[in-house]
């Protein structure tokens, strides 16, 4: 009788322990799924924020086109030209004005959606790096690449400009991964991509480097130009758009009032250096 009772107690404890482990496992899975959803949402929101920023910049160009069209109409009105030509100029000005109104409505809609979906106002730099590391490793695995990531920071800081910081680093890191992916010797050796950060006085010095194919000396002056790209995918014939680095420079210089430069030694090391005022990052500009 005592033995049966002992066996029952042991079995009860064992079953309870197993149920506890199952519950813990479910909790960890739920937590992991939540973190992954959080990361995907943050990256999606960061991408939307980036697009909104450049869409706002485009509205300025659209405004200039509209103004030029109307000035052309006024100039033609004082010239002896066909009435239809004058009407064309006025029609262009009106059409551009309508496009601008629609554009602004789209921007407002996106901004509202971003605020509703992801209301976080600030984030630690270390958390940004963690999310970027996880997302980049997933991309590396999907491309079957042999690349290790090394992210190091000297000074952690809280920033309201977390979307812009993420897009800066994500563009540069992705650029490194894509360059390695398209290089002829991508599978011949292990590559690495590094992010380092340190605070020098009142300036954050952030670098992103890789040991990929590098940038030729003749192309270095062109890489920040909008539309310039040297990356061509031999598998599908697609040319990369070349908007990432121009966007990076625009964000560094216009949003953060910092500077960016690049140094490259082909097949040895390519490094992008950003110097950003601490006040711009720690205060946040958006």
pLDDT digits (tens, 9 = 90+) for 93-121: 888 878 877 777 777 776 776 666 555 67
Please give the average per-residue pLDDT across 215-229, as a whole number.
79
pLDDT digits (tens, 9 = 90+) for 23-82: 654 554 455 555 666 666 666 666 666 666 667 767 777 888 888 887 888 888 877 778
| CA dist 46 → 38, 180, 230, 259 (Å) | 12, 24, 26, 22
| Comparison of pLDDT for 281 and 227, the residue scoring more | 281
pLDDT digits (tens, 9 = 90+) for 128-187: 898 888 888 888 988 888 899 999 999 999 998 888 888 899 889 999 999 888 876 555
- What pTM does this model have? 0.64
Q: Can you spell out the DSSP letters for 106-138?
A: HHHHHHHHHHHH-----EEHHHHHHHHHHHHHH
DSSP letter, residue 160 = S
pLDDT at 38: 65
Name the 3-class secondary structure at 87. Answer: helix
Annotated domain spans of the chain: 1-119, 123-283
Would you state the CATH architecture of domain 123-283? 2-Layer Sandwich (3.30)
């Amino acid at each position: 009788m005592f033995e049966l009772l002992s066996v029952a107690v042991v079995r009860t404890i064992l079953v309870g322990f197993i149920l506890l482990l199952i519950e813990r496992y479910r909790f960890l899975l739920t937590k992991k799924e939540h973190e992954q959803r959080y990361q995907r949402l943050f990256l999606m929101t960061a991408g939307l924020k980036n697009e909104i920023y450049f869409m706002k910049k485009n509205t300025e160009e659209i405004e200039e086109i509209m103004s030029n069209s109307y000035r052309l109409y006024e100039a033609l009105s004082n010239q002896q030209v066909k009435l239809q030509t004058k009407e064309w100029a006025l029609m262009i000005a009106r059409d551009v004005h309508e496009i601008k109104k629609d554009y602004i409505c789209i921007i407002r809609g996106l901004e509202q959606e971003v605020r509703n979906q992801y209301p976080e106002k600030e984030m630690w730099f270390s958390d940004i790096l963690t999310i970027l590391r996880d997302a980049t490793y997933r991309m590396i695995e999907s491309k079957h690449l042999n690349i290790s990531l090394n992210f190091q920071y000297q000074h952690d800081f809280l920033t309201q400009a977390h979307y812009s910081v993420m897009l800066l680093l994500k563009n540069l890191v992705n650029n490194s991964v894509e360059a390695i992916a398209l290089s002829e010797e991508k599978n011949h050796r292990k590559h690495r991509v590094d992010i380092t950060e340190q605070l020098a006085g009142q300036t954050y010095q952030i670098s992103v480097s890789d040991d990929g194919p590098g940038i030729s000396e003749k192309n270095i002056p062109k890489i920040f130009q909008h539309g310039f790209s040297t990356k061509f995918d031999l598998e599908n014939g697609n040319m990369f758009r070349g908007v990432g680095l121009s966007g990076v420079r625009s964000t560094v210089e216009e949003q953060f009032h910092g500077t960016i430069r690049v140094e490259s030694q082909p097949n040895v090391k390519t490094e992008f250096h950003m110097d950003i005022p601490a006040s711009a990052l720690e205060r946040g500009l958006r």
